[in-house]
Amino acid sequence: MKKYIYPTYLLLLLITGLSACKKNDPDYFGKTPTERSAEALSKYQAQLTTAPNGWKAILYPSGGGIYLFSIKFGADNRTTMLSDINAETSTTAVESAYSIKQLQAPSLVFDTYSYIHLLSDPDPSVLGGSSGAGYSSDFEFSFDKTSGDTITLIGNKKGSRLTLIKAASTAEYTSFTTGTTTVFNTLNTLRTYFKRIAIGDIDCELNIDKGNKVLNLSYLDGNTNLKTVSSNFYIDGTTNNIVLSTPLLVGKTSITTIEKITGDAVNHRVNLTINNNAIQIKEAIVPLKYDLTAATTFHNKPSNGNTYWLSNAGFTVDNVSDAFKIKTIPGLSYLVYRLLSFDSGTVYDRLGFFTNSYSAGDPALVASLPANGKIVFTYYGRFGGAPSAASAQIVSATTNKFLDPNGYYVIQTGPKTYDLVNATDARAWMSFY
């Protein structure tokens, strides 16, 4: 075999020639990288602006949940947008700016504040996301791929996924974001925290986290262990179907879509179909299986320095959030359940209506933990003088609800989050973190 030995000067000439190529020299296809980039951006711009009925958009923030948008992209780099975030955003369009830019890759950038930015807002008071991060979502997206009438994009910073689907009609565009409110209102026919649904011959407890769009089905596996299967979901307003992102398997039944959801306001039931089978969701006043240790853990080990719990909205009653309107108390930051211990011989806790400090008139509660696993509160007095005139009725109503002699089930909803559920009828509850 011959060995080919190239002189050093030839190698130097080759290296020099390669290094002399400039980034905007024509490539093999006769175009510079800048020209090819401009063509790609123009192609994406044309795709977005030539959808006559706009786009249905599904956003999957990296922090969880699924959110829907209806978006129209104008040739003037302006958008109009609807979203299923809440009842107002689903029907009230907002206008904002967008651009198509070459960043790390060709990217769609929502330049000015829009409904999409709500999911990235670092202030929890805006939409309830985590402090400093919101829902870990994006508002700059790289184009990933195009297939037929569908474009998929990936968030440049958080990795959120955004899918754009051409709306088939104006009616489909406007209805796409309204289904979430419609179905949630239907589900509110059920007044209780606990809800029962039979999947095949298996009784399940249904829990729907409306904020994070998570559907949970819990059932007794072998009549002993409580097993929970979960999926994110969205509600397509064009059909008002609940669409699961991950199929749920209960026994031999695989669930991907929940259809034909209607409410029975007389009997407080919800009718629906799964795999063409008619099913009902019914109210329940006790959990399918109860953790008898949860109340002790809740009371003795609060998540905030083992000292206190926080609630943003007080009691939900018959699905009315903040039923006693604690948020209307001037300057209220949150409701605090704080553990205290005094040398009077009685251990009692403070229910604090916290503004910039604890308020006069905050009730002192004594918590007992009976063997049935509930937590029961009794009244011990109040701190300082009377509550202010603006808060007196709210403090009284909230305190009286705490004092139900039947007490509360304590339901752990996360590593450091709990719900207190009224044990009389399960129609009132409060979430703590």
Q: What is the pLDDT of residues 209-261, one digit of tens each?
A: 988 899 999 999 987 899 999 999 999 999 999 999 999 999 999 999 999 99
- For residues 186 and 165, membership in a common domain is answered with no
- For residues 173 and 184, membership in a common domain is answered with no
What are the backbone dihedrals phi and psi of residue 49, each rounded to the nearest 5 degrees, phi first? -90, -15
CATH of the domain at 61: 2.40.128
Round to whole Å and give the CA distance between 394 and 398.
6
- For residues 72 and 40, membership in a common domain is answered with yes
- The four Cα atoms 90, 117, 159, 38 give a dihedral, to 10 degrees, of 100
- For residues 44 and 118, membership in a common domain is answered with yes
On whether residue 168 sits in a domain, the answer given is yes
On whether residue 14 sits in a domain, the answer given is no
- Token digits of residue 296: 């002790």
8 Å CB contact between 316 and 428: yes
pLDDT at 127: 78
pLDDT at 11: 38
- For residues 222 and 312, membership in a common domain is answered with no
pLDDT at 342: 57
On whether residue 393 sits in a domain, the answer given is yes
Pick the last residue of a domain from 284, 303, 326.
284
Does an H or E element contain 115, and which? Answer: helix 115-118
- For residues 240 and 171, membership in a common domain is answered with no
- For residues 168 and 67, membership in a common domain is answered with yes
On whether residue 8 sits in a domain, the answer given is no
Residue type, 165: I
8 Å CB contact between 408 and 421: yes
The SS3 of residue 234 is strand
Pick the last residue of a domain from 112, 143, 177.
177
- Token digits of residue 395: 């403090």
- For residues 190 and 173, membership in a common domain is answered with no
- For residues 280 and 299, membership in a common domain is answered with no
Round to whole Å and give the CA distance between 420 and 357.
24
- For residues 200 and 109, membership in a common domain is answered with no
- For residues 247 and 357, membership in a common domain is answered with no
Domain that holds residue 391: 294-432
Domain count along the chain: 3
Round to whole Å and give the CA distance between 42 and 36.
10
DSSP code for 160: -
The SS3 of residue 36 is helix
Does an H or E element contain 184, and which? Answer: helix 179-187
8 Å CB contact between 67 and 83: yes
pLDDT at 352: 95
CA angle 109, 119, 105 (to 5 degrees): 25
Residues of the chain with pLDDT under 50: 1-21, 23, 28, 343
pLDDT at 135: 84
pLDDT at 24: 52
On whether residue 320 sits in a domain, the answer given is yes
- For residues 365 and 392, membership in a common domain is answered with yes
Confidence (pTM): 0.82
- The four Cα atoms 353, 355, 359, 363 give a dihedral, to 10 degrees, of 10
Pick the last residue of a domain from 258, 284, 310.
284
What residue ranges in 12-159 does DSSP mark as E strands? 55-60, 67-73, 78-83, 94-102, 106-110, 140-147, 150-155
